[in-house]
Amino acid sequence: MGLLLLSLGLSLVCAQKFDPRAIVQQNYNMARVSGVWYLISMASSDLKRIEKDGDLRVFIRNIQYLQNGSLMFDFRFVVQGACEEVVVVCEKTDRNGEFSISYEGKNKVTVLETDYWNYITFYLQNIKNKTETRVLALFETCKKYKLDSQNIIEMSRQDPCYARR
Ligand SMILES: *[C@@H]1O[C@H](CO)[C@@H](O)[C@H](O)[C@H]1NC(C)=O
Ligand SMILES: *[C@@H]1O[C@H](CO)[C@@H](O)[C@H](O)[C@H]1NC(C)=O
């Protein structure tokens, strides 16, 4: 009986997850995160690292969930005024929604919250030279309007990576 109640409870929880607008803060279905995302804002415990020419000022464009559970990011960042593109793989860890990568030190990348549909928030903990820097990044997508990247013009022109299509 206890088991039956438990499974009823679980199926209720699962049914709730079918609401496409629901906000998810755990047990992420990372496959649903795959796609094109636009950086909206960043915050950091060390602003220098996300300001112009900061080493953690990275523009993630495309996120792809890989068969083996890792996440592939299309990174763009500015080197001496030019936009550089690089593809990196964040390896999955034992925890759902948590990934690790070596880039300017060691990084732990965690999904904080998403509705899969409009936005996703990542939390990055970087350890470089024994100093920890924390970064929050909010990304938005245009999936809800069924727009493809070729139909979107980005309005922020602060950086070469933004001006570039
Ligand atoms: C997962 O696959 C990617 C792409 O093939 C690879 O770069 C990465 O090292 C793989 N990770 C693991 C843990 O096998
Ligand atoms: C590492 O940190 C120490 C102490 O904060 C500093 O003196 C040193 O220059 C730093 N090294 C690098 C490579 O940033």
The mean pLDDT value for 88-117 works out to: 94
- Say if residue 13's pLDDT is above 50: no
Residue 70 alpha carbon, nearest atom of ligand 1: 1
What integer pLDDT is reported at residue 12 of this predicted model? 44
Mutate to test the pocket of ligand 1, among 70, 73, 90 (most ligand atoms within 8 A of CB): 70
pLDDT tens per residue across span 145-156: 666 666 655 555
The mean pLDDT value for 119-131 works out to: 95
Q: Kindly give the residue spans of alpha helices, DSSP state H, lying in the chain.
A: 2-16, 160-163
CATH 2.40.128.20 given to domain 24-163? yes
For residue 69, give Cα distances in angstroms to 25, 35, 94, 95, 112: 18, 15, 10, 11, 17
Both tokens assigned to 73: 């990011």
Alpha carbons within 13 A on the beta-carbon side of 89 = 9
What integer pLDDT is reported at residue 158 of this predicted model? 54
